[in-house]
Amino acid sequence: MDRPSTHQVPEGTVAAPSAGVEAVPAPTHAECARTIVAGANRGSLSTLAAEPAGYPFGSVVTYALDGDGAPLFFVSLMAEHTHNAERDPRASLLVAEAVADGDDPLAAGRVTLIGDLGRVPGAEVAGVRARYLAANPNAGYYIDFGDFAFYRLALRAVRYVGGYGRMSWVDARAFADAEADPLAPVAAGIVGHMNDDHADALVLVCRHQGGRPDTVQATMTGVDRYGFEVTASSPAGAGRLRLGFPRPVTTSEEVRSALVAMVRQARRLSAEAPPRS
Amino acid sequence: MDRPSTHQVPEGTVAAPSAGVEAVPAPTHAECARTIVAGANRGSLSTLAAEPAGYPFGSVVTYALDGDGAPLFFVSLMAEHTHNAERDPRASLLVAEAVADGDDPLAAGRVTLIGDLGRVPGAEVAGVRARYLAANPNAGYYIDFGDFAFYRLALRAVRYVGGYGRMSWVDARAFADAEADPLAPVAAGIVGHMNDDHADALVLVCRHQGGRPDTVQATMTGVDRYGFEVTASSPAGAGRLRLGFPRPVTTSEEVRSALVAMVRQARRLSAEAPPRS
């Protein structure tokens, strides 16, 4: 189950800054997977059809997560996937990061959660109902209909794909224990702010802390609790790199402090060793 | 396979205008399904996993369609879904209409195409490659890599869901023969234009040709080759209705002519029988 894959497609993977530098802290694949699943409420459920017999059947579902990341569904008892699950509980839920029209969906992250679908026991319904409604306000108008029921997907295996060439099987226990990135809800705002207002600071940081002294232009492409990713351009071309925060951060304010400290240090280094450009 | 479903969720279904009026022409479910599948190039592929054995496995894929609506894939030979398909060809492709953040994905249309995945024979690769690249320009940079291959999903069954309470199994032959709606690429523009610039005309048409003489406000919500859908409000409340074009149309220009004729007729009827408001 634990076979990593690599293949001969162009690398979309974030590289360590440069040889000889210690590994840059980054989320585990379990954390990446949990972040994607926690950041959405809709996905594709695969179940096993009765007719044509045994064919995998994909359908659209909305979901919530219970405390250990297992998906919770509220489904019509008349729906195909519910009939299928009652006959055979084997199922998977595919959740993909949102991708803008025209962007390549194969470069974005997605997760397949594989497990067994089972009806939520009566004693747990009240708690599950509250979680489900919090994640799916649209369900409010049919949440009390009689011909719907709650199901949970008890996880057996998790497949994570971060984009081209970045994928692995994730241990189901590690996924259950992983925390979604606390910065995910604010990451886009931070990235936009840095690129709009602090592009020069990003260049300095790439030059002096990212091992790319020739950087002339830099664009932040992502941020998480452990660090951030940048596309850095130099006369030699553009490349992606990852920089780590001095310690993990959990709020926008902590990101701001960490970046201010990094830029301050880069300015000091810059004064000592001005860039070659 | 041909069981329609209805259930006790709020009706999202378009209603015929009023009792006693002949049925309003509308696309068949085969046509609706073909339109959704033709209007996208990404979906969720369900295959059967080796481990855990026999579990349905969902993954993100991009696709093109061949002439009879069968999906064509270009997949890595190292990908899980390719390994799965080589072991067991049973598969399905789920394609869903795009849904804005916050909108209910269960109110939107989706299609599950069920069939057998098979490698495209060498003699057909050139044609399939051209179709695939036309639908997926992003694939241009790896289309000639050696460890990818083309697969076709030979269809056995088609499940269409138009939204709450509007769903059926579609005969695979009917799907193969159906034409995607020629107006789909321009429908959003027509709807926006009618609502922005011709809201009064829509009210007139609902009053005099839609069987809703009390209409005071009307919003077009969709248009296809056979007619269009409107949410019409009156002092009694709001309701959805469908109006048919005098004959099927295939271009924006034909829609314009058909609507102009309908509005003209409504104005005549209005002069004869002024509204009760």
Does A273 score more than 50 pLDDT? yes
Q: Chain A closest CA to B33's CA: distance in Å? A: 14
Instruction: Record the tokens describing residue A211, joined without a space.
Output: 């091992």
Residue range A237-271, pLDDT digits in tens: 999 999 999 999 999 999 999 999 999 999 999 88
Q: List the single residue in A with minimal CA-CA distance to B97.
A: A60
Residues A215-225 have a mean pLDDT of 97
Q: How confident is the model at residue A276, as a pLDDT?
A: 57
Which chain B residues have a beta carbon less than 8 Å from that of A185?
Answer: none
Q: How confident is the model at residue A22, as a pLDDT?
A: 61
Count the domains in chain B.
2
Does B256 score more than 70 pLDDT? yes
Of residues A8 and A99, the one with the higher pLDDT is: A99
Tell the residue number behind the tokens 């994570």, with chain if given: A160
Does A3 score more than 90 pLDDT? no
Which chain A residues have a beta carbon less than 8 Å from that of B141?
Answer: 10
Global ipTM: 0.89
Which chain B residues have a beta carbon less than 8 Å from that of A91?
Answer: 55-56
CA atoms of A262 and A254, how far apart (whole Å): 12
Residues A220-233 have a mean pLDDT of 97
Which chain B residues have a beta carbon less than 8 Å from that of A46?
Answer: 44, 46, 56-58, 92
What is the pLDDT confidence band of residue B22, given thresholds at 50, 70 and 90? low
Residue range A15-59, pLDDT digits in tens: 434 444 468 999 999 999 999 999 999 999 999 999 999 999 999
Which site among A5, A45, A94 would you substitute to test the B interface, given the most B Cβ atoms closer than 10 Å to its Cβ?
Answer: A94
Domain coverage including residue A218: 184-272
Share of chain A above pLDDT 90, in %: 84
* Residues A121 and A191 reside in one and the same domain: no
* Residues A55 and A138 reside in one and the same domain: yes
**Given an 8 Å threshold on Cβ–Cβ distance, is A106 in contact with B58?**
no
Q: How confident is the model at residue A23, as a pLDDT?
A: 82
Q: Chain A closest CA to B165's CA: distance in Å? A: 10
* Residues B147 and B226 reside in one and the same domain: no
In a domain? residue A12:
no
Q: How confident is the model at residue B5, as a pLDDT?
A: 43
Q: How many CB atoms are closer than 10 A to CB B120?
A: 19
Query: What is the pLDDT of chain B when averaged over all its residues?
Result: 91
CA atoms of B106 and B102, how far apart (whole Å): 12
CA atoms of A56 and A74, how far apart (whole Å): 20
Q: List the single residue in B with minimal CA-CA distance to A48.
A: B56
What is the pLDDT confidence band of residue B18, given thresholds at 50, 70 and 90? very low
Which chain A residues have a beta carbon less than 8 Å from that of B57?
Answer: 46, 56, 92, 112, 114, 159
Q: How confident is the model at residue B74, as a pLDDT?
A: 97
Instruction: Record the tokens describing residue A241, joined without a space.
Output: 């790199």
In a domain? residue A145:
yes
Chains A, B: CB pairs < 8 Å: 151
C-beta of residue A182 within 8 angstroms of C-beta of residue A34: no
In a domain? residue A254:
yes
Q: How confident is the model at residue B16, as a pLDDT?
A: 39
Domain boundary among B177, B210, B237: B177
Nearest by CB: B110 against A1, A60, A108: A60
Does B15 score more than 90 pLDDT? no
Residue range A55-82, pLDDT digits in tens: 999 999 999 999 999 999 999 999 999 9
* Residues B89 and B129 reside in one and the same domain: yes
Q: List the single residue in A with minimal CA-CA distance to B146.
A: A8
Q: How confident is the model at residue A196, as a pLDDT?
A: 98
Which chain A residues have a beta carbon less than 8 Å from that of B112?
Answer: 57-59
Residues B23-35 have a mean pLDDT of 95
Query: What is the pLDDT of chain A when averaged over all its residues?
Result: 91
* A100-104, B101-105, B118-122, B162-166, range with greatest mean pLDDT: B118-122
Domain boundary among B149, B177, B205: B177
* Residues B103 and B190 reside in one and the same domain: no
**Given an 8 Å threshold on Cβ–Cβ distance, is A55 in contact with B105?**
no
Q: How confident is the model at residue A100, as a pLDDT?
A: 86
In a domain? residue B5:
no
3-state secondary structure of B74: strand
**Given an 8 Å threshold on Cβ–Cβ distance, is A60 in contact with B96?**
yes
Q: How confident is the model at residue A125, as a pLDDT?
A: 97
* Residues B158 and B220 reside in one and the same domain: no
Which site among B6, B11, B92 would you substitute to test the A interface, given the most A Cβ atoms closer than 10 Å to its Cβ?
Answer: B92
* Residues B214 and B97 reside in one and the same domain: no
Q: List the single residue in B with minimal CA-CA distance to A167.
A: B79
Residues B16-28 have a mean pLDDT of 68
* Residues A125 and A170 reside in one and the same domain: yes
Q: How confident is the model at residue B147, as a pLDDT?
A: 93
Q: How confident is the model at residue B146, as a pLDDT?
A: 87
Greatest alpha-carbon pair distance for chain B in Å reads: 72
Residues A134-161 have a mean pLDDT of 95
Q: List the single residue in A with minimal CA-CA distance to B93.
A: A58
Q: How confident is the model at residue B14, as a pLDDT?
A: 39
- Length of chain B, in residues: 277
* Residues B56 and B162 reside in one and the same domain: yes
Residue range B183-226, pLDDT digits in tens: 999 999 999 999 999 999 999 999 999 999 999 999 999 999 99
Nearest by CB: A57 against B8, B112, B145: B112
Q: Chain B closest CA to A161's CA: distance in Å? A: 9
What is the pLDDT confidence band of residue A102, given thresholds at 50, 70 and 90? confident
Distances (CA, A) of A160 to A94, B2, B56, B137, B208: 10, 37, 16, 25, 56
Residue range A176-186, pLDDT digits in tens: 999 999 999 99
* Residues A46 and A141 reside in one and the same domain: yes
Amino acid identity at B72: L
Which chain A residues have a beta carbon less than 8 Å from that of B157?
Answer: 51-52, 55
In a domain? residue B18:
no
Share of chain B above pLDDT 70, in %: 90
* Residues B205 and B232 reside in one and the same domain: yes
Residue range B116-165, pLDDT digits in tens: 999 999 999 999 999 999 999 989 989 988 899 999 999 999 999 999 88
**CATH code for position A220:** 3.20.180.10
Domain boundary among B126, B149, B177: B177
C-beta of residue A65 within 8 angstroms of C-beta of residue A121: no
**Given an 8 Å threshold on Cβ–Cβ distance, is B114 in contact with A47?**
no
Of residues B222 and A9, the one with the higher pLDDT is: B222
Nearest by CB: A90 against B42, B56, B112: B56
What is the pLDDT confidence band of residue B40, given thresholds at 50, 70 and 90? very high
In a domain? residue B75:
yes
Q: How confident is the model at residue B270, as a pLDDT?
A: 86
Does B230 score more than 90 pLDDT? yes
Nearest by CB: B156 against A10, A52, A80: A52
In a domain? residue A67:
yes
In a domain? residue B92:
yes
* Residues A75 and A208 reside in one and the same domain: no
**Given an 8 Å threshold on Cβ–Cβ distance, is B57 in contact with A156?**
no
Which site among B1, B11, B44, B156 would you substitute to test the A interface, given the most A Cβ atoms closer than 10 Å to its Cβ?
Answer: B44
Which chain B residues have a beta carbon less than 8 Å from that of A8?
Answer: 145-147
Which chain A residues have a beta carbon less than 8 Å from that of B91?
Answer: 55-56
Instruction: Record the tokens describing residue A132, joined without a space.
Output: 């489900």
**CATH code for position A160:** 2.30.110.10
Which site among A5, A37, A44 would you substitute to test the B interface, given the most B Cβ atoms closer than 10 Å to its Cβ?
Answer: A44
